[in-house]
C-alpha cells in the first residue's frame, strides 16, 4: 500500500522498514498515529497493523461526494459477524484489500474476546476458510493455515486440553489480581491528588507533595520505562507447551495477557474512553466465568455507563453491554433486571441491524431464557422460535447455533406441557450435534441428558434410562467421576 501510494513520489521512498521511512509514514499521518513507528513493523501487533492500513489517514480516498475517507469507512460494511466475501464486486483491488484485512480483524476479535474454551468443528472449519480466503486475497501464502486446518481431535487430547484450561484460568486470576492492584494504586493517587487540589493554591504541605511524588514513582516502577508500546510487567506465565505444532509457552502467555492493552487502558485518568469500557466489559466476562456475579455486574455496568456517555443509547457497543449485563444479572438470579437489560439490547439491535442478523438472534435467544426463568413460557416460546427462525435462515439446519436454539426451545415446550414437541426439538438438536461434533462431546451429553428428562416426563422410562445412561457415560469419559455434571446425570 505504501509503495503504490507514496513510494514513487518525490521526497519519499519504498518501504524498507527503516527509521526514515517510518518517520515518513508518521508525517503522512499528520505527526500523530497509534502505530508504534519508533520500532520495526515486524514487532507491530495486529492492532498496529490495522491502524497502519484500513484506519490510516495516509491511504484515505475520496468517496462519491469527494470527501476523503479512510479505507475502513469507505469500504468496510460488515454484514453480520463476518464479510460474506472479501472480493470486491466491482473488481476494486483496494476494496478487496480493505475487506480482507478487516476480515482478519473480525476473526481476531472473535477469537480473542471469546469466553468459551471450546469451538465446534463447523465453526472451526469456517474460521479456517475465512482466514484462507483473506490470505489469498492479500497475496499471502496460506500454508500455515492449511496446517492448522488439518489438525484433528487427536492433536488436542481431552486431558491435555483440560490442563490447558486450568492453566489459562490461573493466568486470568493473576491478571485480575494485577489489574485490581493497579486500579487500587491509581485510585489512591487520584484521591490524594484531589485532596491537594482542594487546598488553597500554593498551600499544599511538603509532606503531601512528597507522598504524591512517591506515589507517582511507585506507579512508574510498575509501568515500562521509555517504551510506550510495551505492557506493564505481569506474573511470569506457568503455561506449558501442551498443544503441538504451533503453541509455545511465551506465545500462549502473550495471547492470554495481550488481549487487553493494559498500558493504555489502565490510564484511569481517562476513564471515559472506549478502550476503558472494553476492559471493564472483558473483566466482567471473566469474573462471571469464575462465578463472581456481583463483581461481574459492577464491571459490566461501568462499561455500559461509559458507552452510554460516549456513544449514546442507539449504538452497537451499547447493545453489547446491555446484552452481557443481562447475562450476568440472569446468572445471579435477578431475572427482572436481566429481562430489562436483554430487552433493551434487543430493541437496539432490531433498530440497527434488523430482524435477519446473528446478533438479533442472540438477543431473542437469551431473552427467551430469561422469560422462561420468570415463568412466562408463552413469551419465552415466541422469543426462542424467533431466534430459531433467524438462525435457520442465516446458517441452515446443520449449525451449532441452530442446535442450541432447538435444545432451548425444547426446554420451554416441555415446561408448557407440550412434551411431544419438546421431544422432537431435542431430538433434532441431538442429531445436529452428533453430526457436527461426533459422539464424545459435552454438548452431546447435554442433549442426551435433557432428552432423557422429556422421555421421563412422557412416561417412557426405558428410553429415558438409556438416554441418561449415555449422557453419564460421555461425561464420565470426558470429565471423570468427580465432576458435578457427571453426578447430575445420575439424578
Same domain, 110 and 17: yes
- CA nearest 300: which of 272, 274, 314, 320? 320
Residue 454 lies in a domain: no
What is residue 68's three-state secondary structure?
A: strand
Domain for residue 34, yes or no? yes
State the pLDDT at residue 413: 94
* Residues of the domain holding 51: 2-153
Q: Are residues 16 and 123 in the same domain?
A: yes
- Three cell numbers, residue 1: 500500500
pLDDT at 165: 72
Does residue 130 sit in the same domain as residue 160?
no
Percent residues over pLDDT 70 in the chain: 74
- Claim to verify: residue 120 and residue 181 sit in the same structural domain: no
Q: What is the number of structural domains in the chain?
A: 2
Question: Could you tell me how many residues make up the chain?
Answer: 491
Residues 15 and 66 in one domain: yes
Do 43 and 93 fall within a single domain? yes
**Over residues 457-481, mean pLDDT:** 88
pLDDT tens digits, residue range 269-311?
356 778 788 888 888 888 888 888 999 999 999 999 999 998 8
Among 246, 265, 294, where does a domain finish?
Answer: 246
- Assess whether 104 and 160 both reside in one domain: no
Please report how many Cα atoms fall inside a 13 Å half-sphere around the Cα of residue 35, on the Cβ side: 25
pLDDT above 90: percentage of residues in the chain: 31
Residue where one domain finishes, among candidates 134, 153, 172: 153
Q: What is the tens place of the pLDDT at every residue in 210-238? A: 555 555 555 555 444 444 444 444 444 44
pLDDT at position 194: 57
Please indicate whether residue 178 or residue 338 has the higher confidence score (pLDDT).
338
State whether 187 and 129 are in the same domain: no
Helix (H, G, I), strand (E, B) or coil at 69: strand
Which residue in the block uniquely carries the three cell numbers 502473550? 254
Q: What's the whole-number average pLDDT of the chain?
A: 79
CB-CB contact of 97 with 1 (8 Å) = yes
Determine phi and psi for 143, rounding to 5 degrees.
Answer: -55, -45
Least confident among 35-49, 169-183, 196-210: 196-210
> Whole-angstrom Cα distance, residue 113 to residue 400?
19
pLDDT confidence of residue 212: 54
Q: Give per-residue pLDDT as tens, 80-120.
A: 578 888 898 888 888 999 999 999 999 888 887 776 667 77
Is 32 inside a domain boundary?
A: yes
Q: Rounded to a whole number, what is the distance in angstroms from the first to the last CA of the chain? A: 62
Q: Of 84, 107, 244, whose CA–CA distance to 164 is shortest?
A: 244
Residue 67 has pLDDT above 90, yes or no: no
Predicted TM-score (pTM) of the model is 0.50
**pLDDT over threshold 80, residue 346:** yes
User: Which of 145, 67, 157 lies closest to 103, judged by CA?
Assistant: 145
Average pLDDT over residues 446-452: 92
Of the two residues 148 and 367, the one the predictor is more confident about is 367
Mean of pLDDT values over 18-46: 86
Mean pLDDT, residues 399-423: 93
Amino acid at each position: 500500500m505504501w509503495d503504490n501510494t507514496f513510494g514513487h513520489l518525490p521526497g519519499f521512498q519504498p518501504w524498507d522498514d527503516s527509521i526514515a521511512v517510518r518517520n515518513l509514514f508518521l508525517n503522512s499521518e499528520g505527526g500523530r498515529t497509534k502505530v508504534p513507528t519508533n520500532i520495526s513493523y515486524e514487532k507491530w501487533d495486529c492492532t498496529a497493523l490495522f491502524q497502519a492500513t484500513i484506519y490510516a489517514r495516509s491511504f484515505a480516498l475520496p468517496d462519491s461526494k469527494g470527501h476523503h475517507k479512510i479505507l475502513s469507512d469507505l469500504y468496510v460494511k460488515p454484514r453480520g459477524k463476518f464479510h460474506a466475501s472479501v472480493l470486491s464486486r466491482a473488481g476494486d483491488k483496494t476494496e478487496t484489500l480493505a475487506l480482507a484485512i478487516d476480515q482478519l480483524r473480525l476473526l481476531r476479535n472473535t477469537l480473542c474476546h471469546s469466553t468459551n474454551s471450546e469451538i465446534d468443528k463447523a465453526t472451526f472449519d469456517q474460521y479456517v476458510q475465512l482466514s484462507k480466503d483473506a490470505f489469498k486475497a492479500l497475496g499471502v501464502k496460506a500454508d500455515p493455515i492449511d496446517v492448522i486446518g488439518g489438525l484433528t481431535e487427536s492433536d488436542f487430547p481431552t486431558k491435555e486440553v483440560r490442563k490447558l484450561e486450568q492453566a489459562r484460568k490461573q493466568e486470568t486470576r493473576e491478571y485480575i489480581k494485577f489489574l485490581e492492584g493497579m486500579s487500587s494504586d491509581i485510585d489512591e493517587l487520584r484521591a490524594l491528588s484531589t485532596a491537594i487540589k482542594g487546598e488553597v493554591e500554593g498551600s499544599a504541605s511538603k509532606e503531601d507533595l512528597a507522598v504524591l511524588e512517591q506515589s507517582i514513582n511507585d506507579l512508574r516502577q510498575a509501568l515500562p520505562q521509555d517504551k510506550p508500546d510495551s505492557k506493564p510487567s505481569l506474573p511470569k506465565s506457568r503455561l506449558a507447551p501442551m498443544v503441538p505444532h504451533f503453541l509455545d509457552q511465551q506465545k500462549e502467555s502473550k495471547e492470554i495477557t495481550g488481549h487487553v492493552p493494559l498500558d493504555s487502558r489502565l490510564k484511569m485518568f481517562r476513564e471515559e474512553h472506549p478502550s476503558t469500557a472494553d476492559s471493564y466489559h472483558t473483566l466482567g466476562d471473566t469474573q462471571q466465568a469464575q462465578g463472581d456475579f456481583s463483581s461481574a455486574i459492577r464491571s459490566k455496568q461501568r462499561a455500559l455507563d461509559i458507552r452510554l456517555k460516549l456513544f449514546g443509547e442507539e449504538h452497537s457497543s451499547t447493545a453489547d453491554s446491555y446484552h452481557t449485563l443481562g447475562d450476568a444479572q440472569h446468572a445471579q438470579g435477578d431475572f427482572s433486571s436481566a429481562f430489562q437489560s436483554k430487552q433493551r439490547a434487543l430493541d437496539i439491535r432490531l433498530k440497527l441491524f434488523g430482524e435477519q442478523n446473528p446478533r438479533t438472534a442472540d438477543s431473542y435467544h437469551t431473552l427467551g431464557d430469561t422469560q422462561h426463568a420468570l415463568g412466562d413460557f408463552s413469551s419465552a416460546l415466541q422469543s426462542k422460535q424467533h431466534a430459531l427462525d433467524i438462525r435457520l435462515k442465516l446458517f441452515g439446519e446443520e449449525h451449532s447455533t441452530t442446535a442450541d436454539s432447538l435444545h432451548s426451545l425444547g426446554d420451554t415446550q416441555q415446561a408448557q406441557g407440550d412434551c411431544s414437541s419438546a421431544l422432537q426439538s431435542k431430538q433434532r438438536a441431538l442429531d445436529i450435534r452428533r453430526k457436527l461434533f461426533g459422539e464424545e462431546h459435552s454438548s452431546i451429553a447435554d442433549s442426551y441428558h435433557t432428552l432423557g428428562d422429556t422421555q421421563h416426563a412422557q412416561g417412557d422410562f426405558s428410553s429415558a434410562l438409556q438416554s441418561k445412561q449415555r449422557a453419564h457415560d460421555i461425561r464420565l469419559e470426558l470429565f471423570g467421576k468427580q465432576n458435578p455434571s457427571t453426578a447430575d446425570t445420575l439424578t
